[in-house]
Structure 1
Amino acid sequence: MTDIRVPVLIVGGGLTGLAAALFLRQHGVDCTLVERNTTTSQLLRSTHVSPRTMELFRTVGIQQAVWDVAEKVVPGRLWSETNLPPHQLPRAILRAGSLADVVSGDAIVMEEGANQFTDVGPCEPVWCGQDRVEPIMLAEAVRKGADVRFATDLVSFAPDPDGVTARIRDRATGKTSTVRADYLIGADGAGGSVRTQLGIERRGNGTVGHVLNMLFKADLDTVLGGRRFLILYLTSKQAPGMLFKLDDERWIFGWFCGPDEIVDNAVPAERCLELIRTATGVDPDFPIDLQLTMGWWMAHEVVDAYRDQRVFLAGDACHVLPPTGGFGANAGVQDASNLAWKLAAVLHGWGGDGLLDSYQAERRPVGQATADQAWMRHMRWSGPPAGDFEQRDQTVVTTGYRYGSPVILGDAPDEVFAATMTLDGRPGSRVPHVWLTRDGHPISSVDLAGPEFALIGGAEAADWIPELVADARRAGIPLAAYPLAADGGTVTDPGEAFASAAGITARGAVLVRPDGFVCWRTEDRPAEGPAQVLAAVTGHQLPDEEEHRG
């Protein structure tokens, strides 16, 4: 007997699972999420919310809510200044023996950014812990209609050609239920059961270190004299690790330790306080309030497959990487964005199974390249540089990557991350950001896509765009068209900058997917019919006009 029937079952209620629920509901897909913990994250590893993730939060209406509770990230070169406004942190990664070295100027700047994110997109990054971001995501997912069940275990699951049958258990009552879903998303983390039950292997450089996170309250600003940074790598042999600020009161010291130290929080509170004092260089009487501790391991591994029949992996379930760069959680949110609209397309009947195959074709190369970038940074930041690293700029890693798959019509990229930031309208890349005007108000070209496709064309493309729109409507494909002119349209381009940024003529257009990525570009009226284009980018043959009428 089936107790619950739902299109998508999500296993895991962290950032990735909650993102999957949010994006699925954005696309009108019902979902049930189960999470074994009783609530959202209390102690965290993820703090960096990238501009690309903020763009995705913008599409589901939570960008402002996250911004309101976050610390703002400002240019890294300001790290040594002592007069920054409250709630601003410079994007500076430092290495030193102690906080005293930072104050004296005896610190090595490992990375700092000019952070001209507004040239790349409409959003800026923030520094915000999971304990603040996840409740916002949860509340919005529930408001949008997601069925979220905490304190609930996945007992077992069995995929078949038509769906997935799972057993879940309420941890409070012990009651078990049967769930029948069309698809299952395993967002249950690096140690989750979905991947292991499927027998999917992870490969890479393996475990690169163990960390005991210590969340504590202390007025370290008085020690720093107003200086600020994102992360300080501490090289003290007595207390090596990472130190970073969360908000007005709270800090995290991540102690690089042995594997035995992270089991069941084996380090006594007194020892933790001693390590914090050593790491920060404060005297024994300096007030420190230890809040929580959590052990975890750093690794560099990516799974062999992101999909097995009707089961998909996302987030840490398919890629584990060192925290250097803050890429992991953001990659999980972007996994969810890529997958959600494709599941919606298939469930709503206008996408083919090949569209689901493209999830792995697109996201696995990005996951591998992102893990490699995090590993390179870890090797460089945690110790003296060794070897040459092809390190890419932070914004290239989080926003400037390119996809290649059969549902993207264009040449496959030579590499996932280009040497420089390039968002020029080429298929497989995120649509270039240009400020347009809609009904007299500024709007980014990035905002035009999601939850539907956006066909953005030059002013002279208006004669052929309606034909493509009609074919999309006939097939049930959600699509909005925007032929841009300097004035006179619903959405206008007063500076006539978009065509140049997107590499099209006044008669050309780009087709932007619901996840914001260009999947097709044409310089002029397309030689192929609109139906052919739509079939190719959705992996689904469109019904002919006579069939539609019938």
Structure 2
Amino acid sequence: MADHEVPVLIAGGSLVGLTTSLLLAARGVPHMLVEQHRGTAIHPRAASFHQGTMEVFRGVGMQEAVDAAAEREFVQNGAIIAVESLAGRELKYFYRSYNDGVERLSPTSRLFITQIGLEPLLRDRARELGADHRFATELVHFEQDDDGVTSVIRPRDRGAEQTVRSRYLVAADGAHSPVRKALGIEVNGRGVFADCVTIYFKADVRGMLGDRNLSVVYVNHPELLGFFRFSINADSGFLAVFATIGPDGSRDSNVGENISTEQCAGFVRTALGAGPEFPVEIDNVQRWGAAAGSAARFQDGRVFLVGDAAHVMPPTGGFGGNTGIADAANLAWKLAMVHSGAAGAGLLDTYDPERRPIGHLTSEQAYTRYVLRVDDSLPKNDLMDPLDDASIELGQVYRSDEQPPLEDPRNPTGRPGTRAPHLPLERDGVSISTLDLVRDDFVLLTGSEGQAWRDAAASLAASEGFPLKAHGIAATGPVVDKEDRFAKAYGIGAGGTVLVRPDRVIAWRTADPADDPRGTLEEVMTRQLFR
């Protein structure tokens, strides 16, 4: 007999593990999360969050809280720039403003918030919704069988080992994932190519910043390569150092080895462009490896890898945490529907083929940016061409064997496997997004002549228990298409319809009416839910 029985056990309680917990809790799935550390993040770490991530938080009612917390930490919507030093020559602007060109693609914005600011929000909301979190608790061992997973957990401070019986195990236990290693899953890719340090410091840099709003500052100095982020008051920040450069131009990527506090202060002064007497106080130094790669499998039976356990990438582009949150968003609704009995277990087998190609592509894109922005001495064989940031963030295509893996979200197609395009709508006099119509269920969106489709959806939900809702979008009615763009953006006619999954991915569409809308929709839903 197990000490605890839960549908899902999550190993790892950092950014991605907490997001997985929140999404499961929001869907009413009982679960336990174990995390070996005593609490949430104590170092800022991931700070840039993309619109797709913010759409996930919006979907569980967290957007306003995250926006407010972000405003307390950083001046938002700043530039991403490369400089020789903060006080020295500007080399290149990657963004003049972080949301340039993407403002109309989403009801959310890209923003900067640290894991220190974000993780407690996720933890507290998940607990409010019933999540069982056990920090300072290790996952010691696990074994899976045909019916579930038996895990052994152990409190770090006191208490005996306990067993947890779960139907599924989600490994959100980081880049060195013990769960992944126990399963014998290899990580393929570029490996570790730099031994880096992140230096957390206090220094008054207001005079060097001037009136510039700089969100990320890449430093390409003759003596070092790295990047800055500064606090909202410009009196502290961190410098990530990727490599140092010798007088002869040789690069040393083993920065973290035997580094001293004095060396760290010197690196900060060099990157700032400050003299040796400039006051710098070192708070902390974190050593880490810059790496790029993805796991050979994201699923092994009843065990799923998410976040850094599934893929690792350098910080160039800010894709790491965002990709992990997209993993969680893909997996959580599937676990919820299988748990409730709405879907068959085969639905979970779609996680790996959907997320693994995206994890590999994004890891390679982060590596490309590292080579082009930071260290062009790295091998360029098989270097992927840099792709558009917005397409990586919002244009990912699932099940794309016969089509490009990304599409431009500025020109959406409405194809199955793509994200449902954001369009401004009005419902009961309130401005909303098409994405706000999608929550826990599948949603059928129809044109102005789609009443037969909506009737079929209501009938199937009532008689067959399909998790399905329907909305008509037209020039008049309960949901108003304010810009008359719905049919074109979703690739349907006035009598057509499109089916959207709970993770806002288009599952199926038809441009025109059907002779038997109920029968057609029943067949589609049965296939989508693996019944």
C-alpha contact (below 8 Å) 1:127/1:246 kept by paired residues: no
Aligned residue-pair number: 515
Matched, 1:369 2:375: no
Distance 1:192 1:389, change over 3 A: closer
**Which of 212, 220, 235 is the aligned partner of 2:220?**
235
Question: TM-score w.r.t. structure 2 length?
Answer: 0.92
Distance (Å, rounded) in 1 between the aligned partners of 2:286 and 2:192:
17
| Aligned counterpart, 1:429 | 418
| Aligned counterpart, 2:80 | 92
Partner amino acid, structure 2, of 1:97 = E
| Aligned counterpart, 1:537 | 528
- Give the aligned CA root-mean-square deviation in angstroms: 2.2
Matched, 1:184 2:172: no
Matched, 1:272 2:264: yes
| Aligned counterpart, 1:441 | 430
Partner amino acid, structure 2, of 1:47 = A
Per-residue CA deviation, residues 8-67 of structure 1 (Å, 9 max, x unaligned), is 000001111001001111211011000001111111331101011011101111111111
**Which of 237, 243, 260 is the aligned partner of 1:251?**
237
Q: Secondary structure at the match of 1:293?
A: strand
Deviation at 1:394, TM superposition (A): 1.2
C-alpha contact (below 8 Å) 2:398/2:417 kept by paired residues: yes
Distance (Å, rounded) in 2 between the aligned partners of 1:534 and 1:420:
26
| Aligned counterpart, 1:394 | 389
Partner amino acid, structure 2, of 1:529 = T
C-alpha contact (below 8 Å) 1:129/1:246 kept by paired residues: no
Distance (Å, rounded) in 2 between the aligned partners of 1:495 and 1:254:
45
Per-residue CA deviation, residues 79-109 of structure 1 (Å, 9 max, x unaligned), is xxxxxxx823424231x3212224xxx4233
| Aligned counterpart, 1:222 | 207
Overall identity of the aligned pairs, in %: 38
**Which of 438, 453, 456 is the aligned partner of 1:467?**
456
Distance (Å, rounded) in 2 between the aligned partners of 1:507 and 1:539:
27
Q: Secondary structure at the match of 1:485?
A: coil
Q: Secondary structure at the match of 1:230?
A: strand
Moved beyond 4 Å, runs of 4+: 110-114, 257-261, 384-389
C-alpha contact (below 8 Å) 2:457/2:469 kept by paired residues: no
Partner amino acid, structure 2, of 1:296 = W
C-alpha contact (below 8 Å) 1:72/1:89 kept by paired residues: no
Equivalent runs, 1:326-337 vs 2, <5 Å: 326-337=318-329
Deviation at 1:237, TM superposition (A): 4.6
Distance (Å, rounded) in 2 between the aligned partners of 1:109 and 1:168:
48
Distance (Å, rounded) in 2 between the aligned partners of 1:412 and 1:477:
29
Q: Secondary structure at the match of 2:287?
A: strand
Deviation at 1:413, TM superposition (A): 5.0
Distance 1:260 1:378, change over 3 A: closer
Partner amino acid, structure 2, of 1:121 = S
Unaligned segments of structure 1, at least 5 residues: 74-85, 405-410, 541-550
| Aligned counterpart, 1:408 | none
Distance (Å, rounded) in 2 between the aligned partners of 1:197 and 1:151:
21
Equivalent runs, 1:457-496 vs 2, <5 Å: 457-489=446-478, 491-496=479-484
Deviates most, 107-116 or 388-397: 107-116
Partner amino acid, structure 2, of 1:515 = D
Partner amino acid, structure 2, of 1:187 = A
Partner amino acid, structure 2, of 1:317 = A
Deviation at 1:261, TM superposition (A): 5.4
Deviates most, 380-389 or 210-219: 380-389
Question: TM-score w.r.t. structure 1 length?
Answer: 0.89
Distance 1:379 1:348, change over 3 A: same
Distance (Å, rounded) in 2 between the aligned partners of 1:308 and 1:131:
32
| Aligned counterpart, 1:319 | 311
Per-residue CA deviation, residues 288-343 of structure 1 (Å, 9 max, x unaligned), is 23222211111111111010010000000010011110001000001000000001
| Aligned counterpart, 2:494 | 506
Matched, 1:107 2:98: no
Per-residue CA deviation, residues 195-221 of structure 1 (Å, 9 max, x unaligned), is 000000010111121211111222212
Q: Secondary structure at the match of 1:460?
A: coil
Equivalent runs, 1:7-46 vs 2, <5 Å: 7-46=7-46
Deviation at 1:425, TM superposition (A): 1.3
Distance (Å, rounded) in 2 between the aligned partners of 1:67 and 1:152:
31
Per-residue CA deviation, residues 449-476 of structure 1 (Å, 9 max, x unaligned), is 1111111101211123221332234333
Matched, 1:68 2:68: yes
